Structures are given as structure tokens and as C-alpha cells.
Chains A and B, each alone.
Chain A
Amino acid sequence: MAAQSNLKNMVMVLGLTCLACSAVLGGAYALTKDPIDAASVAKTNKAIGAVLPAFDETSYESVEVDGKTYNYYKAVKGGETVGYAVESTVVGFGGPLSLMVGITPDGTVHNTSVLSHAETPGLGAKCNTDAKFMAQWAGFDPSVKILSVKKDGGDVDAITASTITSRAYTEAVKNAVAAVKSLEE
């Protein structure tokens, strides 16, 4: 059964176990680092592709609006800017809600996509699956329509029973619109 404990064998066994485990993890980290990076890049590229019209290449830049820094991808096609994909994070119902908001140079929302969220499954999490809620962002023009939920007098259809999530989502889009506006000025 288990060996009799003394200082020497306790230090040795614990030390050796940690050493062996660190070696295994170090190896695994080195092996998985590239696929992990690739997966994260693929995810970002997919999100940019989903929210912007066709483009040739993007450049990663950032802008500061009201003390908050927004990172965005500027998409260029044939030397002309076709849009900005802005990463916009706000506090949702269950934690940070991160969106990729695609905005064309005239200030119209081209489309939006959820990067990560911690909303309640079955309620707020619908912001990522509800077809009706998601479709309304395509072509949303903030100069004609008001960027707030209908309950607050705006033009955004909220998700049933998820007003807080819908408000947060709207605010994230609003922030992204403001960020692009400051770029175009």
C-alpha cells in the first residue's frame, strides 16, 4: 500500500510528479499552439466576412471614442474603403457581450455578428440564433432609424423576454456606429 511518509520521499515524489506533469503540458502546449492560433484567426476572419461586403484585404487599427478604445478592421477593395468591422463589447445580462459590427463608410450597419456572450440560454442567448432579431441589423441606417429598442422609443425589435440583452446589443451597435463616425469626420 502507500509508502511510509518521510521528508525525503515526500519532497521527491511531489517534485518528480510536478516535473513530469510540467513536461507533458509544455509539450502539449507547443503542439497545440499553432492550431489554437489558427482557430482564433479563422473565427475572426469568418466574423469579418459575415458583417462586411466583399473585400480584398483588411488592416487592423484602433480608435479612441469617449475614453474607450475600439479595435476595428478596415476593409479595402480596389484601393477604396468598403467598410469597417468594429469589435464592440458591452456588459450584457450575464457578462460581457462582444459583437463584430460591420459598418459601411456612409454610416449604415451592413451586418452584425456575435463574437462571444454569456447570456442566459433560451433567453438572451437568442441574440445569436433568433433569425428575426438578427435580420433587422442588415442595412440598418442610424440616420433614418433610431438605435434603441422599441420599448425605449427606438426602432429595434427586442427579443421576447430579453430586453436587457437587446438593449446591450443595441448599445454595442451604437458604440460601433459612433466609432466609425469619428473616423469619417
Chain B
Amino acid sequence: MAKNFKLITDGLVKNNPTFVLLLGMCPTLATTTSAINGLSMGLATLFVLVLSNMVISLIAPVVPDKVHIPVYIVVIATFVTLLQLLMQAYTPAMYETLGLFIPLIVVNCIVLGRAEAFANKNGVLASACDGIGVGLGFTCALTVLGLVREVLGSGSAFGLNFIGGHDGMLAFVMAPGAFLCLGYLMVLFNKFVKKD
């Protein structure tokens, strides 16, 4: 139990996909224009990561080495498509904002990376915990990044405007602001949170 708990906290801090491993940069930079968008993208990835980790840890022993990547990708793509259909059906508004980036979860290096580095060598429960940890790490990172960019760029937090009719610093909503914020957050994270 303690070991599984450690897997979760490792994913959040020591193996944080965004601030430490620097994986999945495309969705990180593209979807974090607001805190809500970052949070939803993080949760979508978490969903796929946990399920694909579990299934892959189950089938890994019977998958021949030479075809393991195609098999993993098919499994991951299935969960992503499943998520896409569910979002389209039950959360159409969220699907509209994130729609473009959902299919890209298939090629998000975090998902295949955890399958290769962890799930195919460990049991179902440990793999699920690893998925939860890394997924939460990704979700937190994206939410914080989205929040910082939203506060600076649009003058609001989680959609609640607090500077009235003024415009924020627009650069932070656009691509340059994404790189700047990510860079500074990474510095802060490595200085204060990540202690080896």
C-alpha cells in the first residue's frame, strides 16, 4: 500500500511529466489558455493514462516483443476515441474547446512513455497508481500554468473576471506567454518543490 502511495506522489513531484520529464509539451502549451482548459485537458489525459496503463500491464506478458508498440498504440487510441465519443455526447461545450487536442492524446509521449517504462513491467494495481500519479501531476501542472496565464492574460481566474472591462496582458494568452510562464514555473518547481 505504502509503495502504491509512493507511486502516486512520485508522479506528482519526482516524475512530474511537465516540470521534470518535459513530456507532452504540445498539449501543455496549446491548451493552457485558461485554468479550466488546462484542468480539462489534464483530466482527459488522466483518464486515458490510467485505463491504458491497466490494460497494458494485463496484456504485456502475452504481447510478442516485435509488435508491442503497435499493440499499445491500438489500446491507447481505443481509449482516446472512447473518451472523444463520451465527451461529444455528454459534455459538448468542453468538447468544443478541447476537441482538436483530444485525438492528439494518442501520440502524447506521456501515455506511451508510461506504458513502455512502467506498465509493461508491473502489476495492474501498481500501473493504475502510476497512471493516477503521473496523470495528476500533469493535471496540476496544466491547471497552474493555465491559471497563471489566465490571470495575467485575461484578468480572470477560472472564468471569473476580476479586473472589470480592462484587457489583460494579451501576450500571456498567446504562444510566447505559454513558453515564458512554463519556463518560470519550471524554475520555481525545481527550486522549491522537487527535493531529491
Contacts and interface: CB of A to CB of B under 8 A. Distances in A.
Contacts of B78: 21, 24-25
B92 interface: yes
A122 B173 CA distance: 6
Interface size class on chain A is: 20 to 34
A120 B66 CA distance: 44
Contact of B66 (A10, A28, A35, A161): A10
B59 A28 contact: no
B90 interface: yes
Contacts of B111: none
A120 B174 contact: yes
Interface in B57-113: 59-68, 70-71, 74-75, 77-78, 81-82, 85-86, 88-90, 92, 96
A39 B96 CA distance: 12
Given A14-B70, A32-B89, A25 B81 contact: yes
Contacts, number: 88
Interface string A2-24: 11111001100110011001001
Contacts of B63: 2-3, 13
B64 A28 contact: no
Given A122-B153, A122-B154, A161-B170, A35 B120 contact: no
A14 B72 CA distance: 10
A143 interface: no
Contacts of B64: 2-6, 9-10, 13
B148 to A, nearest CB: 14
Dominant SS among interface residues on chain B: helix
A2 B65 CA distance: 6
A36 interface: yes
Contact of B67 (A10, A35, A36, A160): A10
A120 B121 CA distance: 43
A150 interface: no
B167 interface: yes
Contact of B59 (A5, A17, A36): A17
Contact of A36 (B33, B88, B168, B170): B88
Contact of A39 (B62, B65, B88, B121): B88
B45 interface: no
Contact of A29 (B65, B85, B121, B174): B85
Given A17-B74, A123-B170, A2 B82 contact: no
A161 B167 CA distance: 11
Nearest to B71: A17
A13 B62 contact: yes
Given A29-B85, A39-B92, A121-B173, A2 B59 contact: no
Contacts of A144: none
A40 B120 CA distance: 40
Contacts of A21: 74-75, 77-78
B34 interface: yes
Interface centre among B66, B77, B90, B120 (most CB of A within 10 A): B66
A94 to B, nearest CB: 11
Contacts of B170: 122-123, 161
B67 A32 contact: no
Interface in B148-195: 153-154, 167-168, 170, 173-174
10 closest residue pairs by CB, A with B: A122-B173, A35-B89, A5-B64, A5-B66, A32-B89, A21-B78, A121-B33, A39-B92, A2-B65, A32-B85
Interface of B: 33-34, 59-68, 70-71, 74-75, 77-78, 81-82, 85-86, 88-90, 92, 96, 120-121, 153-154, 167-168, 170, 173-174
